[in-house]
């Protein structure tokens, strides 16, 4: 393929819409589900978040790249998104501590970007119509062919994305008396760091690790991590978690909440456009407190499907009433839908790692 003259780029949607802008990042054609995020900062963390695998990320904030990119902010070892859509990509850095531009960053990991897009208008379109499959081109391609690629791409409901981001082998972090097993559906580095900061070592297991292997490792607690895509696809993970939930303290974040809830017989559904950003209000039903949280998910649990189980709803989203947390009536088990590790986002709920660490040490 030949690069479009004048650095033109195109974004095509499955409904036939074709938007033209300016290319940055890598020269290629990519497909994915177009998802918007409302975060005002943290683009490096978002782009490297494994939960965005399979999606073309669009920022509602109008300027991205102004403070550059640092490897210290990576949440995984590479860019995970399929493409990046922005209103404006800043060309000059305004941070003495970074040397890499957003353009350099995307080129390094062979990910395309498009700017000069009316992202707020496109966000309103998604909010009205729901999530849309999209194709992004920074190389020459016919409009009709680009639209066809978007239309022919599999729905994220039917994709197996977790195997693409999970660790291929067991990895350990920290040298402490107590260790938590993390089933890696797409863990973020900040989650691992939060456990280490609270004196708990981490044993990271592939998403489909047999439950007996985890028991034989001699861990003191279990956490099921966040991750991308449809929880219905993780049948092996759900089956193994079902056998582990009564062995030691258990904690689930985002995809982890879905997996654990499904181990109790719950059902999940795809949301119209999901929750992605760092400003989602969550109310704790027991204390009445409201926390501002960072979130990144496109599926939710049907609360009615948990009636008759031993899980109780503990937190809700104040924007749409969707479940944000569950706890077991008897077992030391709780789950949350949001990201307490931040990266990016507020630290309102970071103490959950301290609480779970104490539970592991005392259990």
Alpha-carbon distances of 280 from 28, 54, 127, 145, rounded to whole Å: 34, 22, 16, 37
**Residues paired with 317 in a beta bridge:** 282
| Spatial CA neighbour of 82 closest among 156, 176, 175 | 156
Which residues, in sequence order, are CB contacts of 246 under 8 Å at separation 6+? Answer: 331
Q: Is 185 annotated in the active site?
A: no
DSSP string, 303-348: GGGGTTSSEEEEEEETTT--EEEEEESSSSEEEESS-TT-SSS--T
Tokens for 362, please give them: 């005392």
Whether 185 and 214 have beta carbons less than 8 Å apart is answered as no
Spatial CA neighbour of 113 closest among 134, 90, 88, 84: 84
Selected catalytic residue, list 33, 254, 297, 328 = 254
Beta bridge partners of 182: 204, 223
Q: How far is CA 358 from CA 180, 198, 353, in A?
A: 12, 9, 9
355 is catalytic: no
Q: Clarify whether 339 is annotated catalytic.
A: yes
d(CA 210, CA 228): 21
C-alpha 359/C-alpha 200 separation (Å) is: 11
- Phi, psi values for residue 256, rounded to 5°: -60, -40
Cα 55–chain centre separation: 10
Distance CA 18, CA 24 (A): 18
> Tokens 């931040």 belong to which residue?
342
- Any bridge partners for residue 312, and if so which? 327
Q: What residues act catalytically? A: 254, 339, 341
């Amino acid at each position: 393929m030949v690069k479009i003259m004048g650095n033109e780029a195109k974004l095509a949607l499955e409904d036939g819409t074709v938007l033209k802008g300016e290319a940055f990042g890598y020269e290629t054609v990519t497909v994915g589900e177009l998802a918007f995020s409302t975060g005002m900062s943290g683009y490096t963390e978002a782009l490297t978040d494994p939960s965005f695998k399979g999606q073309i990320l669009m920022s509602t904030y109008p300027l991205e790249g102004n403070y550059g990119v640092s490897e210290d902010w990576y949440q995984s070892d590479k860019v995970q998104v399929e493409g990046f859509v922005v209103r404006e990509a800043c060309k000059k850095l305004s941070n003495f501590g970074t040397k890499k531009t957003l353009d350099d960053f995307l080129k390094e990991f062979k990910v395309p970007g498009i700017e000069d897009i009316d992202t707020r208008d496109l966000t309103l379109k998604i909010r009205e119509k729901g999530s849309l499959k999209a194709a992004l081109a920074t190389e020459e391609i016919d409009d009709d062919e680009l639209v066809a690629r978007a239309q022919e791409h599999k729905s994220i409901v039917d994709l197996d994305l977790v195997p693409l981001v999970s660790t291929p082998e067991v990895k350990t972090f920290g040298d402490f008396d107590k260790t938590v097993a993390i089933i890696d559906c797409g863990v973020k580095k900040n989650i691992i760091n939060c456990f280490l900061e609270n004196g708990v070592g981490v044993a990271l297991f592939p998403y489909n690790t047999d439950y007996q292997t985890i028991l034989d490792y001699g861990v003191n607690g279990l956490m099921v991590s966040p991750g991308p895509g449809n929880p219905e696809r993780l049948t092996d993970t759900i089956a193994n978690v079902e056998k582990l939930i009564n062995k030691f303290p258990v904690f689930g974040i985002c995809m982890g909440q879905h997996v654990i809830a499904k181990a109790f017989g719950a059902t999940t559904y795809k949301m119209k456009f999901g929750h992605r950003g760092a400003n989602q209000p969550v109310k704790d039903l027991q204390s009445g407190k409201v926390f501002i949280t960072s979130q990144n998910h496109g599926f939710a649990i049907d609360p009615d499907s948990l009636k008759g189980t031993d899980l109780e709803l503990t937190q809700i989203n104040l924007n749409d009433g969707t479940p944000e947390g569950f706890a077991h009536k008897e077992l030391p088990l709780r789950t949350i839908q949001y990201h307490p590790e931040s990266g990016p986002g507020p630290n309102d709920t970071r103490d959950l790692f301290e609480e779970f660490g104490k539970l592991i040490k005392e259990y």
